[in-house]
Each structure stands twice: as structure tokens, then as C-alpha cells.
Copies of this chain bind each other. A is one copy, B any other.
């Protein structure tokens, strides 16, 4: 059934302000979505009691190493990333950076040095580890799925977590490659009396996420 013949007055000035709530605007505009908190995120406790107080002090310290006074970190040797550092690194990672070249690492190190002692190798290792552990996450859930498929005892894991992971894998593995395609279609088909409809891809009720 064609919905056509929109012989409306149609002034473009009205469009941006949707006549009916147009709530989708509110959810996606410039307001950054602060990643909903995830229950399972370990969140990497960076803060230990002996962390360097201010970024400036940290920077100064990083420039003037050699004094034993500067060895304020517990182990004394390992890089302990500051939250700001993690933030920038993850931003870069999400921007697509995987294996930065030396020039890039130098720049990143220089920037991160504002917030705490850091060397280029730390940056390099961080990318290496982050990349690898992202892959590990994927593989772990796949392995768990395989386990669950063959073994129903499953005593050592919580079943809730298992089900969550299985659900994630469902789309990839459960549905075979040939089948998971194309349930959607845009319906370029002529009307021709055919009963098939296209998948509704747009909210019929744009007011859905209208909530205070």
C-alpha cells in the first residue's frame, strides 16, 4: 500500500521541528552519550594511595627522574596509567589506531606525559595489550558457547553470565552464514497486489523514547 501523494503545503522551516515531539533529536544530538555503565566492567583501578598528586608534579617528576624520592609508586617500576591517560588512549583506539608508528607514539607519549610519568614503550605496549585483549574477549565468549552446546552441567560458571555471552554469539555462530542474511529488505518491489510488506525500519511511534 503506497503512502504517497503528499500534496502538502510543505514548508521546510517546519521540518526540523517535528510536529510530534521529534524526540529522536534529543537522543542523538551533540550531547555525548556517556557510555552507559556496564556491570561487568572491571574499570581498572588506577588509583593507589601513593599516586602523584598533580599532573604538573607528575610531569616534573618524569623529567627529573633519578631521585629516589620520585619512586613513589608501589612496585616502583611499572607504569600505572592515570584516568586521563586511559581516556585518551581509548579514544585513539576507538578512532581506529591499532599499532601507532614511532612518530605517533612520540606524540602520544608527550601528551600523556602531562598526566603522569610515561614512556613510549608504555604506549606501545598498551596498544599491543589492548588489541590482544579485545580479541581475547571475543574468543572467550565463543569458547564458552561451544562448551555450553556440548555440556549441560556447567557447574563452574554462573549461568546468567553464560547466557549473556551466548546471546552475543548467537548472531555469529548460531545462525549459519547463509541464513543470517537478509531477513530485512527494503521492498523495492512494486505493489502488484503482493502481500509482502517491508520491514518497518522507522519508528511508527516516534514518541517512544519520550521520557522525562
* Chain A residues at the B interface, C-beta cutoff of 8 Å: 1-20, 22, 24-25, 28-29, 54, 56-60, 62-63, 65-70, 72-73, 88, 91-92, 94-111, 113-114, 118-121, 124, 128, 131, 136, 139-140, 142-143, 146-147, 149-159, 161-163, 165-166, 169-171, 175, 181-192, 194-204, 206-207
A117 → chain B, closest Cβ, in Å? 10
User: For the complex, what is the distance from the CA of A111 to the CA of B199, rounded to whole Å?
Assistant: 15
Chain B residues contacting A102 (CB-CB under 8 Å) are 159, 162-163, 189, 192, 202-204
Contact A120/B13 with A91-B143, A101-B24 known, Cβ cut-off 8 Å = no
Question: Which of B1, B5, B92, B131 contacts A9, CB < 8 Å?
Answer: B1
Question: Which of B151, B183, B185 contacts A107, CB < 8 Å?
Answer: B151
- Report the 5 A-B pairs with minimum CB-CB distance, sorted nearest first: A59-B182, A120-B157, A109-B155, A16-B95, A24-B99
A-B contact pairs, 18 of them (CB 8 A): A3-B10, A4-B183, A6-B106, A15-B100, A16-B97, A24-B98, A24-B99, A25-B97, A28-B99, A59-B181, A60-B189, A63-B185, A68-B192, A91-B143, A97-B203, A101-B189, A110-B154, A118-B155
Chain B residues contacting A62 (CB-CB under 8 Å) are 181-182
